[in-house]
Amino acid sequence: MHTGACIIVWWGMVNKKTAFITGIAGQDGAYLAELLLDKGYEVHGLLRWDSYVDQRDGAGRLFDLDIVSEISLHMGDLTDAQSLTGIIKKIRPSEIYNLAALSQVGVSFDVPASTLDINVKGTLAVLEAVRLLDMVETTRIYQASSSEMFGCAPAPQNENTPMQPCSPYGASKLAAYWLARTYRDAYGLYAANGILFNHESPLRGEDFVTRKITRAVAKIYEGSGEPLILGNLDSVRDWGHARDYVRGMWMMLQQDEAQDFVLATGQSKTVREFVEKAFAHIDIEIEWRGFGVRQVGCDAKNDRVLVRINENLFRPKEVNYLLGDASKAREILGWHSSYDFNALVAEMVDEDIDLLQENTSLKDDGKCRKVG
Ligand code: NAP
Ligand code: G4F
């Protein structure tokens, strides 16, 4: 090898950046880990005990992306500040992406105290670790903030929109957002809040509405007779693709100074439109009949009921309308969303059909059969 090439390789080795991702086994954690590995980072991740003991299940997304062997996984919990500090002390990462959270808005109404423990005290533990370990000059932090913090504020929402959260989850994320800003202002910590609107993918958790829909549509395509049961069909979301959003997270940590950014597509759709689009992808036109919670979605060709509503799936308080304005991220970061809504829905339905065809599926008759 020429001397010049040797120097480049050596320079790359001594300057290899180290990232620590909390929530690495979640949707965003997995895609972010993949992106950072591609960029040559040494990637570490925090994994909870349950996920650690059964890694294939807990770290399933990292297996799906075939990156698990390239990552150092550390057993821990965001709510255990001492062990978290120990991990950060050992790794001394140049970048921390704090993605771990109780992230299901509906569930946060059932477990508000643990939502605050994980989302607020957990974030505080990350910020305090960096401060107490004297890493303020060397470590940058990305805080996973959320458009749910806008709550009932009028759309379109951007960085200057007053926040009015209306769920324990939204309130917890707003407290964590302010903690990150406070540590930035008080201690000079590089802490950037990404205020991200909904982003989805085939790796999305099955309890979020998009994946619930695409899984049900895939099952119906494969012959299931079970209708899709949903709650509020009329709430509006700004849905993008998670791959675009993790790229934005990384960009936020590469700036001269820490700032907060909204990431969004600027396109809004109702849950109802998502349902229609997903069924259209398997050539089924949904016709809505009836009103309120008695409304059903039927196959226009044969009247079969494919969608029903269950009022138990409505939340005590709903965020009705989220639509983001990501002009600041476009201007300063050069970030844009590259997937459109149709492509997102199509990819999710196709992947769920593939998944069903690859695996043994439990069919309606209760018998197991191998498909594909
Ligand atoms: P996700 O799929 O639910 O992943 C969250 C991860 O956090 C899970 O892997 C979970 O681990 C982990 N976790 C939960 N509690 C923990 C604890 N006490 N200690 C350690 N790990 C814990 O969420 P996501 O969609 O990737 O979202 C990533 C982050 O962005 C979250 O903070 C979310 O609130 C925020 N966010 C998401 C969106 C979106 O549309 N996706 C939008 C705005 C903001 P287990 O696997 O062990 O449960
Ligand atoms: O998919 P969802 O559960 O996502 P939600 O509540 O918008 O939260 C997601 O996005 C936030 C960013 O805005 C993140 F911070 C958060 O972590 C999470 O990733 O629900 C979307 C909409 C809601 O209006 C809900 O009421 O779909 C409605 N919905 C209707 N039926 C349903 C269902 N949601 C779920 N999860 N399950 C249903 O059966």
- What are the pLDDT digits (tens) for 45-80? 999 987 766 776 778 999 999 999 999 999 999 999
C-beta 205 within 6 A of ligand 1: yes
With respect to residue 4, please indicate whether it lies within any of the assigned structural domains: no
The reply to whether the predicted model has a pTM over 0.85 is yes
Best residue for ligand 1 mutational test, from 80, 103, 118 (most atoms within 8 Å of Cβ): 103
Q: Provide mean pLDDT across the span 208-216.
A: 98
Query: For residue 360, what pLDDT band results from cuts at 50, 70 and 90?
Result: low
Q: Are residues 104 and 137 both part of a single domain?
A: yes
pLDDT over 60 (residue 306): yes
**Considering every ligand atom, which ligand is closest to the CA of 199?**
1
Mutate to test the pocket of ligand 1, among 77, 99, 169, 210 (most ligand atoms within 8 A of CB): 99
What does the block give as tokens for 346? Answer: 């199509």
DSSP assignment of 297-327 equals EEETTT--EEEEE-GGGS-SS---B--B--H
Inform me whether the pLDDT recorded for 307 exceeds 50. Answer: yes
pLDDT at 366: 44
Is 192 part of any domain?
yes
Strand pairing of 199-200 and 228-230? unpaired
Ligand 1 centre and the CA of 26: distance in Å?
Answer: 5
How many CA atoms does the CB half-sphere of 343 hold within 13 Å?
8
Residue 58: its pLDDT value, please? Answer: 76
Whether 234 lines ligand 2, by a CB cut-off of 6 Å, is no
Band (pLDDT 50/70/90 cuts) for residue 367 is very low
Q: Do 295 and 253 lie in a common domain?
A: no
Q: What is the CATH number of the domain that holds 308?
A: 3.90.25.10
| 287 found inside a domain | yes
Structural contact between residues 353 and 207, judged by C-beta atoms closer than 8 angstroms: no
pLDDT at residue 362 in the model? 44
Structure-token pair, residue 191: 């802490």
Structure-token match 């990350």, residue found = 126
Question: What DSSP state is assigned to residue 361?
Answer: E
What is the total count of domains within the chain? 2
User: Which ligand places an atom closest to the C-alpha of 31?
Assistant: 1
- Whether residues 309 and 256 share a domain: the answer is no
Q: Are residues 41 and 179 located together in one domain of the fold?
A: yes
> What pLDDT is attached to residue 214?
98
What is the model's pLDDT at position 50?
A: 78
Q: Minimum-distance ligand to the CA of 194? A: 1
Is the CB of residue 45 below 6 angstroms from any atom belonging to ligand 1? no
Q: Is the CB of 209 under 6 A from ligand 2?
A: yes
Cα(176)–Cα(124) distance, rounded to whole angstroms? 7
Which atom belonging to ligand 1 lies closest to the Cα atom of 117?
Answer: 18
Please report how the helices 122-132 and 81-91 are oriented relative to each other, as an axis angle in degrees rounded to 10: 50
Residues 184 and 129 in one domain: yes
Domain that holds residue 188: 15-205+239-267+321-339
Token pair recorded at residue 102: 């109780």
Measured by CA distance, the residue closest to atom 25 of ligand 1 is 27
3-state class (DSSP) for residue 145: strand
Query: With a 6 A CB cut-off, is 26 part of the ligand 1 pocket?
Result: yes
Residue 50 is classified by DSSP as H
Model pLDDT, residue 333: 98
- Of 198, 252, 241, the residue nearest 338 (C-alpha): 241
Q: Where are the beta strands (DSSP E) in 24-71?
A: 42-47
Element (H, E) at 63: helix 60-64
Q: Tally Cβ neighbours within 10 Å of residue 69.
A: 7
Is 50 exceeded by the pLDDT of residue 341?
Answer: yes
Q: Is the CB of 48 under 6 A from ligand 1?
A: yes
* Residues 249 and 292 placed together within one structural domain of the fold: no
Q: Locate the ligand 2 atom nearest the alpha carbon of residue 101 and give its number.
A: 17
50 CA to middle of ligand 1, Å? 15
Pair 127, 262 in one domain: yes
Residues 194 and 93 in one domain: yes
Whether residues 285 and 331 share a domain: the answer is no
Residue 2, domain member (yes or no): no
What is the reported pLDDT for 359?
A: 80
